[in-house]
Amino acid sequence: ALKTPPVDANVLLETMRHLARLGLTSLGGIVNVSGGVWTQGNELEMLTDIAADLPLRVRALVIAPTPHDLETAAHRIDKTSSLLRFGGAKEFADGSLGGHTAALQAPYADHPELVGTLLLDHSETLPRVRTALALDGSAAIHAIGDRAASHVLDLFESLIAQGADPSRLRMEHASMLHENDLRRMADMGIGACIQPAFVPSDGPWLEERLGARRAASTYRFATMARNGISLAGGSDAPVESPDPFAGMAAARDRAGFWPEESLTANEAFALFTDDAARLLDEPEPLAPGSPADFVVVDRDPLTTSPAQLREASVLSTWVGGRKV
């Protein structure tokens, strides 16, 4: 069985300080109030306990069993500190490619008896999402497989038809998109939080898992951007490193895997700055009137090669004009 070290408020606070040292001024993180095997103690209590000492801004995405639990958590989060804010509801449509649980339209190439697991139940998910939107939050739904992505877009389509703001709806990962769904996502104005670090990690085994054609159609960052899908960068830490500069580098060189889907230096930089701020509903970075949130780094992310960018050192991190 997987064993993880115990987490308490002190460990959580030191983790936040470590993330600030990596150059994060804001993050979107998950708070699970549903319990279960992946819950690290009372996550909500630990987070609110350290709210006054946070070194960076945290937008909490809540996993909750009911709309009432979601609303209770949101109100508690928003009463703590200006650095901690309710971000919305976190939902799951499927699992992972590594575990053969991402929901696919066609069977896995290396396990043709499997098509993954679809977790999305519209009757349960919609009330929680509507509650999150009513609380001025967002809906972030995890979808890796193409079948899961299609179901998420169906759910978002019904919400938009009822008046939901598309900018408050996003797909987490969007790793595999059928061509029709890629266009549908763009037309609907649905954004995606992508994890460029998945490409170097999954690249060595992805073709065996999916077959050559589908592997080449996975993590299509450049295609998504060209089609007008709003992208923002994430890490999925602790699955991958939370280092934003490693994420920028992976978006640019993809460790050599399907380089035609690489982003430019400017696009990769924007993923983790302007685009991420927009996704988190924060002011435009370093614009007049915006908080003085910035980092000082030892090299220029726009001109440094991806290999050198992975070695970048953050010299200082500033949040609200204060060095942290």
CATH code at position 63: 3.20.20.140
Structural domain includes residue 68: yes
Measure the CA–CA gap between 301 and 294, rounded to whole angstroms.
14
Task: Flag whether pLDDT at 3 surpasses 70.
Answer: no
Q: What is the mean pLDDT of the chain?
A: 96
- Which residue in 261, 246, 247, 62 sits closest to 177, CA to CA? 261
Give me the residue label for tokens 């000492």. Answer: 53
Domain count within the chain:
1
Write down the H helix ranges in 50-121.
Answer: 67-78
Task: Flag whether pLDDT at 17 surpasses 50.
Answer: yes
Cα-based distances in Å from 242 to 143, 193, 199, 234: 20, 14, 15, 8
Structural domain includes residue 67: yes
Structural domain includes residue 1: no
Query: What does the block give as tokens for 54?
Result: 């946070």
Contact 88, 77 (CB under 8 A): no
Structural domain includes residue 247: yes
Question: Cα 95–88–286 angle (5° rounding)?
Answer: 110
Write down the H helix ranges in the chain.
Answer: 9-21, 43-49, 67-78, 122-134, 146-161, 179-188, 198-210, 212-216, 221-226, 244-253, 265-271, 274-279, 306-309
Q: What is the mean pLDDT of residues 299-320?
A: 98
One-letter amino acid identity for 259? Answer: P
Measure the CA–CA gap between 207 and 218, rounded to whole angstroms.
10
Tell me the three state secondary structure of residue 231: strand
Tell me the three state secondary structure of residue 322: strand
Contact 243, 235 (CB under 8 A): yes
- What percentage of the chain's residues is helix, strand, coil (to nearest 5)? 40, 15, 40
Structural domain includes residue 260: yes
Measure the CA–CA gap between 276 and 262, rounded to whole angstroms.
18
pLDDT digits (tens, 9 = 90+) for 253-285: 999 999 999 999 999 999 999 999 999 999 999
Confidence of residue 7 (pLDDT cuts 50, 70, 90): confident
Q: What is the mean pLDDT of residues 139-160?
A: 98
Question: Cα 197–199–203 angle (5° rounding)?
Answer: 140
Contact 191, 227 (CB under 8 A): no
Confidence of residue 38 (pLDDT cuts 50, 70, 90): low
Query: What does the block give as tokens for 198?
Result: 């998945």
Confidence of residue 35 (pLDDT cuts 50, 70, 90): confident
pLDDT of residue 1: 43
- Which residue in 10, 13, 26, 17 sits closest to 319, CA to CA? 26
pLDDT of residue 39: 65
Structural domain includes residue 59: yes
Q: What is the mean pLDDT of residues 34-38?
A: 67
Q: Helices 179-188 and 146-161 meet at what angle, rounded to 10?
A: 30
pLDDT of residue 135: 98
pLDDT of residue 6: 75
Measure the CA–CA gap between 210 and 205, rounded to whole angstroms.
9
Q: Which domain holds residue 249?
A: 9-323
Structural domain includes residue 2: no
Q: What is the mean pLDDT of residues 223-229?
A: 97
pLDDT of residue 4: 62
pLDDT digits (tens, 9 = 90+) for 153-209: 999 999 999 999 999 999 999 999 999 999 999 999 999 999 999 999 999 999 999
Structural domain includes residue 3: no
Q: What is the mean pLDDT of residues 231-252?
A: 97
Least confident segment among 39-53, 242-256, 271-285: 39-53
pLDDT of residue 34: 84
Looking at per-residue pLDDT, the higher value among 42 and 27 belongs to: 27
Confidence of residue 95 (pLDDT cuts 50, 70, 90): very high
pLDDT of residue 37: 53
Neighbours of 209 (CB within 10 A): 19
Query: What does the block give as tokens for 56?
Result: 């960076």
Whether the pTM exceeds 0.75: the reply is yes
